[in-house]
Amino acid sequence: MYQYYAKWIREGKLKVNSDWNKDLKVKFTVQDPCQIVRKSYGDVVADDLRYVVKSVVGEENFIDMTPNKSNNYCCGGGGGALQSGYKKQRLQYGMVKDKQIKATKADYCIAACHNCHSQIHELSKYYGGNYSVVHLWTLLCLSLGILGENERAYLGDDLKKVAVYGA
pLDDT tens-digit series, residues 75-106: 998 878 888 888 999 999 999 999 999 999 99
What is the reported pLDDT for 166?
43
Cα 92 to the chain's mean position, in Å? 21
Sequence spans of domains, the chain: 2-160
What is the reported pLDDT for 156?
87
Instruction: For domain 2-160, give the CATH number.
Output: 3.40.50
Q: Is residue 31 within 8 Å of 109, Cβ to Cβ?
A: yes
What is the reported pLDDT for 82?
84
Q: Is residue 119 within 8 Å of 82, Cβ to Cβ?
A: yes
**Residue 101 phi/psi, 5° resolution?**
-65, -45
Q: Is residue 2 within 8 Å of 139, Cβ to Cβ?
A: no
SS3 31: strand
Residues in the chain with pLDDT values less than 50: 166-167
Q: Is residue 57 within 8 Å of 18, Cβ to Cβ?
A: yes
Q: Is 166 left (phi over 0), alpha (psi -120 to 50) or beta?
A: left
